Structure 1
Amino acid sequence: MLLCMGSVAFAQSKKSPTLDQIFKEGIFRGHSVYGINWMKDGQYYSKLVREMGAEKVVKMDIQTGQPVGTLVSSKVLTDLLGKELHIDGYHFSADEQKVLIETEHEAIYRRSSKSHYFVYDRQANTVVPLAKGEKQSFATFSPDGKMVAFVRSNNLYVTNLSDMKEQAITTDGQFNSLLHGMGDWVYEEEFSLAKAFKWAPDSKSIAYLSFDESEVKQYTMPIYGTLYPQQYTFKYPKAGERNSEVFLSVYHLDNQKSTEIQKGKEKDIYIPRIYWSADGKSLSYIWMNRLQNHLELRKANAFTGEYSLLLKETSKTYVDLDFNDQIYFLKDGSFIRTSEESGFKHIYLFNKEGQQLRQITNGQWEVSSIVGVDKTHKKIYYLSKEESTIADQFYVIGFNGKGKKKLSTREGNHSVNFSNDFKYYIQYQSNIHQPLRVTLHNAKGKELKVLEDNQAQKATFDKFDLGHKEFMTVKAADGQTDLNAYMIKPSNFDASKKYPVLMFVYGGPGSQMVQNKFPSYRDAWYGYLANQGYLIVCVDNRGTGGKGRDFKHITYKDLGKYESEDQIYAAKQLAKKSFVDAERIGIWGWSFGGYMSSLCLMKGNDIFKTAIAVAPVTNWRYYDSIYTERYQSTPQLNPHGYDDNSPVFHVDQLKGNFLLVHGTADDNVHFQNAVELENALISANKQFRTFYYPNRNHGIYGDNATRHLYTMMTNFLLEKL
């Protein structure tokens, strides 16, 4: 009895964090080991260190985790140049004797940026600018370290480091018209392809993509802050509209000519991946049709441009590139790739003609990703959900499908960074109770050193009253399928009382919000709300990831239908619990989650009282071509799929409290989405609240925006839920 009284007193002594502690002071943020750049011998890695307004690249001993020397510093560079130079990023040549220094870094979109680059020769102790004029993007050493290729003003260039002479590979590039060596907006966002060129292994050729976006329609955003706001205009292909026409070419440095790779009769296609052969004489690439239900891996002659088919994969729904783009070519031309053709993502081995030799992994579970392929020892290292759909564990298996071994030993989610020689790896692991633990291991899985254990972060979480997260399952709207979910209860939870519920949703294709990871700063906010007397619930509806192709692809051509039905059904299941106040159930989400929360409040007006939507898609016709058409086909072929579950067409059903938030400079989910939903709500005579963040993009951050947003959402929930 004394022990029970003591635990109750301890719980009562804990305090709730303030919003300022969460979002301004950041006291719940943990630490990690960032910027691991493995050095060629595998015994060391380098990292960028910032101290007292200066930067240096230090060499770290992997065994001790301690610095053993400075490789380059901003002080040395400044002294050599005679003017101040700061290091924003760096890249080594293959022999590690030269370093590309990136300075005056300027972000463009999510994955693209431009900077001024300098070449530092460690042996000669000299530094020279890579190029003159405008900033450059994607500067990359050739494999032999003698040249650097880069993009400037939409053209591709190469500089010979022996004499610093610059050679233009293309000359007709133009913003919003023709791009060389860099992806257009939609390739960068949806295919993660910003840098669109690749050196041949022999350093004699460069394969590059060109994008003719002259026929793509433009989107314009006002940028406020001057007497007359500036207008930023860029090409953005919306669903069903014209895409860029893409071309694949190979530039040969010996004759300074480009060979265009033949792509067939279809023009409206995608080329999202390029792979060079080991000898530099041929390259392979992924070709996809516009509807993304037909994928081909092609092999092309780098000198004639002719191609042959290695393999193809088709689907009645879509072939998900994220599940089919991990390809590793071996010396004999055979290759290893991942595919979900069997119904779950697995690893396969093919011969050089593209014939499947074997399925290396198999089962009713998914391989999450290949971490690395050790070609010398014929081993594949990978992460999978074999043990749990809410956590990745780490495994190794032979090319022959034998000798599978689980290398991770702890509960929870894992990610891994392998050294280039496959002797060591750094493991990042956490679970719901244990913060991120960063450890060094040898290739056999033996833990050699703890690099970060975040015990200070855990002590901070333990110090405050943040409630308890519990994993559970709920039924989908079909009444049969189990959905992963979690609930956060107040630390002083009393089952005899009734609590309001706030559901958090993302719900987009292939995503997973319910994972066995340590809480983030957002979870600290949920703990804050739990301390105010709310239950926090998150449900991964059908269409999300981790459970195979059929579970994910059920939403095809009906995006939003099954997802919203599952969230509404889950809310109704919660309402039946004795400790839930069925009259006070709310839902919130961001991006796809904002789309979901809007739709659920309208379609589920009999169960949801309140919703918050941040940066939501409100009409799928407004979103980009690659993402939307992958899951919806085109609006011309599937008009009902676009309209039946877009919130702008359900405004008449709104009954509850609604807060709509958006950034005016959102290049991804355009501010147009919020404006059109607002217009529809006004026409339907529906009252709601709205707030817009000037000049903020999809992430809505910078200059106190994050703190302001979460404070506003908290106040809205306390008032309306």
Structure 2
Amino acid sequence: MTKSLFLSFLFSVLFINLFAQQSELSVEKIMQDPKWMGTFPSNVKWDQNSSGIYFNYNKEADPADSLYRIRLASPKKIEKVSWTEEKEIDFARGTYNKSKSKKIYSKGNTLVIFDIKSGQETELLQFPENISRPNFLANEDWIAFSADNNAYIYSQKSGILKKLTQIKSGDAPKDKDPKSSDKAAYLEAENLKLLSVVKEREDTKKTTKEIREARKEKEAYTYYSGDSRVTNLQVSPDAKFVTLTLFNRGKSDATIVPDYIDASSYTRDLNTRSKVGADETTVALAIYNIEKDTVYQVQTSTLPGIKDLPDYVTDYPDKEWEAKEREVITSQAYFSDNGQHAIVNVRSKDNKDRWIARLDLATGELTSLDRQRDEAWIAGPGIGWSMGGGTLGWLPDNKHIYFQSEATGYSHLYLLNVSNGTKKALTSGNYEVFDPFISKDQKSWYLTTSEVGPGERHFYKMPLMGGKMEKLTSMTGNNDVTLSPDEKHMAILYSYSNQPWELYYKKNSAKAEAVQLTSGQSEVFQSYNWRDPQLITFRAEDGAQVPARLYVPEASVKNNAAVIFVHGAGYLQNVHKWWSSYFREYMFHNLLTDLGYTVIDIDYRGSAGYGRDWRTGIYRHMGGKDLSDQVDGAKYLVENYGIDKDKIGIYGGSYGGFITLMALFNEADTFTSGAALRSVTDWAHYNHGYTSNILNEPFNDPIAYERSSPIYFAEGLKGNLLIAHGMVDVNVHFQDVVRLAQRLIELGKDNWEMAVYPAEDHGFVEPSSWTDEYKRILKLFNTTLLDN
């Protein structure tokens, strides 16, 4: 090393250390085991009697969280529940009868009924197999349940147990006397014609078999499910039908992820997901007709628009597109209480349509009640996905169904009269509805919404047929409410931007005060003054107002450099007033701000919380508006916060890593450096469920994939790039960055480096890995944004 190089290196080290000393925080402190922060409650639930709140917690510094309890009679006392006691606790679960006076549920292979008034639990039946999905039939003496892939009903009065179905996996047994080939049949006929003794013996055998068959009782009908797995067995309230889902994963080619540090010392191959476009899953709904002793599948061919082609086909005029019946996924059946009606949720596998349809159980025919079409893709809070129906069910009047829809651009709650088709919106406005459910007295709705603002969540009560919503929570931030079984109390998991989750208790009244039950922050965590980021909006190039969280340093330490953080995707929001799931990154942003950086965290196009148009703004072009939102955020900082346009860095993980790559490859004049963590580099190599929603399938829409995949734009790299990836990542495979590395090598790029983590999956778990990764990120920004 020359003297000048050594002095330059020494200056860089001293420069970095100088800035590191300006904060109480360090990467090592932030990225250590999160236990240093304290203990925070999760997984809240009530017992059957509404007398105690149970939650996961770790008050005694155990290796993992344990079950704790707070009794309403002594709310200041937090008790750890022993393992033996935990097995005996009856948590709020099960299915109510119509009057809500009793509840039925299972404990392993035992069927249990719970009397609400007396609080008494009674065992009704012990079965050889585990019992699942028990519920009351219309005649509430009878209880239906499933076990061992078959449906049963049980009478409480008589103790009679009836097996309704005979379902077996695999194929039906083949005929023991298969038909002979033409050659074999000829030889047999010739033999019988020539040899009388042989013919007489065969005739005797045939006669004996016919007599035996005539005397034998007719075998019960058996339905064989073949290669499909039977799930979601549902007995209709009148016990005349059983619906069942037939799920077949198909034979899609799985991908392999090598584990190089397996305990055996041999490289072990991990079988993981298939790639987008390779999905061969089929999901069908079948009906077991008890009276006719037969099974038939629900027919979807009559659904309106079932053969509609998507709009994007116009981009491929040279390809011949066939308007054929699309593949669909049908949910379980949802029965009215009186058993006279049933509905299903049906989704097209191309993600463009969602139908809610009335099901004729006697024929398997469907009549569409509501069709939601989206040329991008169907999604949003409460809208059914995969085999689920989302928010879907019947009102007690057996005439109205309820569901959520993005018909107005935001996910809201609707009623529909199945007899006349009249649809009514119960909620409306530029906000979203989450997890609505009907009260026990069946007169009201309980629901969570973002009506106050996209950055807050509150719990409301509303009349069953619609009307004014009563806001039951008041703390600014996120109020995640678990209502007690008697609906008299609320357990609230609450957090704010700079305050991790704590448990609160409140009576079910808007006027009642919330009482804090836990306080889990450690002293060392509390000793730092964690910032409350500013929630702002800035104007994008297309006129949209883009939400962001902003961290502004003190003027005395401001270095005129900025870092943009890009959150991951799936369907996620990070600009809000509650404790972020990206808590390590939040703490890192506090460290960066201490060091003089201005940090911005953007809810770019594609983020959750802002309705349909924001969600689908990335359709067929990831790296389009979601990237331009980052560029516009950088311009906003330059114009309003005195940021040097040559001192802007960007980083993020997963989708955030993808955007970082697109930023450095396509917007090199805006971003000087970036850290791409666990990033997708070629969307044709990612999974089907997520990718096909946004980009369709690569063999049908290659334009969308080629303009959305960073590997096609690697020649644009000018700035400084850090790539970091776990080698046993079964979500975004290590292969992604290996292929990109080869491309960068072939392009002759030398301004990049890669850090690999042999022990890490997509979500890092080892503090040493987190520390190493973020030390590299900090070094990248310090050396490329400040020393230039």
Give the alignment's TM-score, normalised by structure 1: 0.78
> Does 1:308 find its partner at 2:308?
no
> Does 1:477 find its partner at 2:537?
no
**1:143 paired residue among 132, 135, 140:** 135
Structure 1 residues 473, 150: CA separation in 2 closer, same or farther (over 3 Å shift)?
farther
Residue 282 of structure 2 is matched in structure 1 by 245
Distance 1:307 1:341 in 2: 22
Listed one character per residue, the Cα deviations across residues 487-527 of structure 1 (whole Å, up to 9, x for unaligned) are 2233x4338x4332111012747532111124634312221
Residue 591 of structure 1 is matched in structure 2 by 654
> Does 1:581 find its partner at 2:637?
no
> Does 1:231 find its partner at 2:269?
yes
- Per the alignment, in what secondary structure is the counterpart of residue 606 of structure 2? coil
Q: How does 1:479-494 map to 2 (within 5 A)?
A: 480-490=543-553, 492-494=554-556
Residue 299 of structure 1 is matched in structure 2 by 358
Listed one character per residue, the Cα deviations across residues 40-90 of structure 1 (whole Å, up to 9, x for unaligned) are 4444455578888999977753454478999x964489xxxxxxxx99999
Structure 1 residues 46, 568: CA separation in 2 closer, same or farther (over 3 Å shift)?
closer
> Does 1:441 find its partner at 2:506?
yes
Listed one character per residue, the Cα deviations across residues 571-623 of structure 1 (whole Å, up to 9, x for unaligned) are 13323446423322111111111111111111110121111112222122122
Structure 1 residues 57, 700: CA separation in 2 closer, same or farther (over 3 Å shift)?
closer
- Per the alignment, in what secondary structure is the counterpart of residue 499 of structure 1? coil
Distance 1:395 1:309 in 2: 31
> Does 1:219 find its partner at 2:258?
no
- Per the alignment, in what secondary structure is the counterpart of residue 403 of structure 1? coil
Structure 1 residues 634, 210: CA separation in 2 closer, same or farther (over 3 Å shift)?
same
Provide the alpha-carbon RMSD of the alignment: 4.4
Structure 1 residues 165, 23: CA separation in 2 closer, same or farther (over 3 Å shift)?
farther
**1:372 paired residue among 437, 451, 457:** 437
Residue 606 of structure 1 is matched in structure 2 by 669
Offset at residue 207 of structure 1 (A): 4.4
> Does 1:680 find its partner at 2:729?
no
Answer 1 or 2: which has greater strand percent: 1
Distance 2:124 2:457 in 1: 45
**1:171 paired residue among 169, 181, 205:** 169
Residue 693 of structure 1 is matched in structure 2 by 757
Residue 452 of structure 1 is matched in structure 2 by 517
> Does 1:359 find its partner at 2:418?
no
Structure 1 residues 98, 441: CA separation in 2 closer, same or farther (over 3 Å shift)?
same
Residue 35 of structure 1 is matched in structure 2 by 43
- Per the alignment, in what secondary structure is the counterpart of residue 316 of structure 1? coil
Distance 2:272 2:340 in 1: 37
Farther off after superposition, 459-468 or 531-540: 459-468
Residue 24 of structure 1 is matched in structure 2 by 32
Distance 2:710 2:456 in 1: 33
Distance 1:663 1:87 in 2: 41
- Per the alignment, in what secondary structure is the counterpart of residue 586 of structure 1? strand
Quick check: 1:297–1:309 contact (8 Å CA) kept in 2?
Answer: yes
- Per the alignment, in what secondary structure is the counterpart of residue 376 of structure 1? coil
Structure 1 residues 279, 693: CA separation in 2 closer, same or farther (over 3 Å shift)?
farther
Distance 1:56 1:28 in 2: 17
Residue 111 of structure 1 is matched in structure 2 by none
Offset at residue 317 of structure 1 (A): 2.8
> Does 1:499 find its partner at 2:560?
yes
Residue 488 of structure 2 is matched in structure 1 by 423
Residue 320 of structure 2 is matched in structure 1 by none
Structure 1 residues 516, 499: CA separation in 2 closer, same or farther (over 3 Å shift)?
same
Structure 1 residues 58, 716: CA separation in 2 closer, same or farther (over 3 Å shift)?
closer
Structure 1 residues 506, 179: CA separation in 2 closer, same or farther (over 3 Å shift)?
farther
Listed one character per residue, the Cα deviations across residues 693-719 of structure 1 (whole Å, up to 9, x for unaligned) are 335332122474434433443344444
- Per the alignment, in what secondary structure is the counterpart of residue 762 of structure 2? coil
Amino acid at match of 1:527: N
**1:559 paired residue among 606, 622, 627:** 622
Residue 106 of structure 1 is matched in structure 2 by none
Offset at residue 428 of structure 1 (A): 2.7
Quick check: 1:16–1:465 contact (8 Å CA) kept in 2?
Answer: no
Distance 2:237 2:79 in 1: 32
> Does 1:624 find its partner at 2:687?
yes
Residue 297 of structure 2 is matched in structure 1 by 260
Distance 1:148 1:526 in 2: 52
Quick check: 1:465–1:531 contact (8 Å CA) kept in 2?
Answer: no
> Does 1:350 find its partner at 2:416?
yes
Listed one character per residue, the Cα deviations across residues 368-398 of structure 1 (whole Å, up to 9, x for unaligned) are 3134222635222222232322222333222
Offset at residue 536 of structure 1 (A): 1.7
Quick check: 1:209–1:247 contact (8 Å CA) kept in 2?
Answer: yes
Quick check: 1:412–1:517 contact (8 Å CA) kept in 2?
Answer: yes
Quick check: 1:15–1:463 contact (8 Å CA) kept in 2?
Answer: no
Distance 1:360 1:597 in 2: 41
- The number of residue pairs the alignment matches comes to 653
Q: How does 1:47-58 map to 2 (within 5 A)?
A: none
Residue 312 of structure 2 is matched in structure 1 by none
**1:406 paired residue among 445, 459, 471:** 471
Quick check: 1:200–1:280 contact (8 Å CA) kept in 2?
Answer: no
List alignment gaps of at least 5 residues for structure 2. Answer: 1-19, 96-101, 114-119, 137-141, 172-225, 303-324, 384-389
- Per the alignment, in what secondary structure is the counterpart of residue 533 of structure 2? strand
> Does 1:180 find its partner at 2:229?
yes
Residue 532 of structure 1 is matched in structure 2 by 595
Farther off after superposition, 598-607 or 672-681: 672-681
Structure whose CA Rg is larger = 2
Amino acid at match of 2:132: T
Quick check: 1:467–1:531 contact (8 Å CA) kept in 2?
Answer: no
Amino acid at match of 2:695: Q
Distance 1:434 1:695 in 2: 31
Distance 1:343 1:98 in 2: 38
**1:275 paired residue among 300, 325, 334:** 334
Offset at residue 568 of structure 1 (A): 1.4
Amino acid at match of 2:556: D
- Per the alignment, in what secondary structure is the counterpart of residue 698 of structure 1? coil
Distance 2:753 2:90 in 1: 42
Structure 1 residues 17, 352: CA separation in 2 closer, same or farther (over 3 Å shift)?
same
Distance 2:686 2:531 in 1: 38
List alignment gaps of at least 5 residues for structure 1. Answer: 1-11, 78-85, 102-116, 182-195
- Per the alignment, in what secondary structure is the counterpart of residue 43 of structure 2? coil
Structure 1 residues 718, 277: CA separation in 2 closer, same or farther (over 3 Å shift)?
farther
Listed one character per residue, the Cα deviations across residues 679-703 of structure 1 (whole Å, up to 9, x for unaligned) are 2222212232122333533212247
Residue 515 of structure 1 is matched in structure 2 by 576
Structure 1 residues 233, 239: CA separation in 2 closer, same or farther (over 3 Å shift)?
same
Q: How does 1:696-711 map to 2 (within 5 A)?
A: 696-702=760-766, 704-711=768-775
Amino acid at match of 2:565: F
Structure 1 residues 118, 360: CA separation in 2 closer, same or farther (over 3 Å shift)?
closer
Distance 2:764 2:568 in 1: 20
Structure 1 residues 320, 96: CA separation in 2 closer, same or farther (over 3 Å shift)?
closer
Offset at residue 406 of structure 1 (A): 2.2
Distance 1:394 1:702 in 2: 36
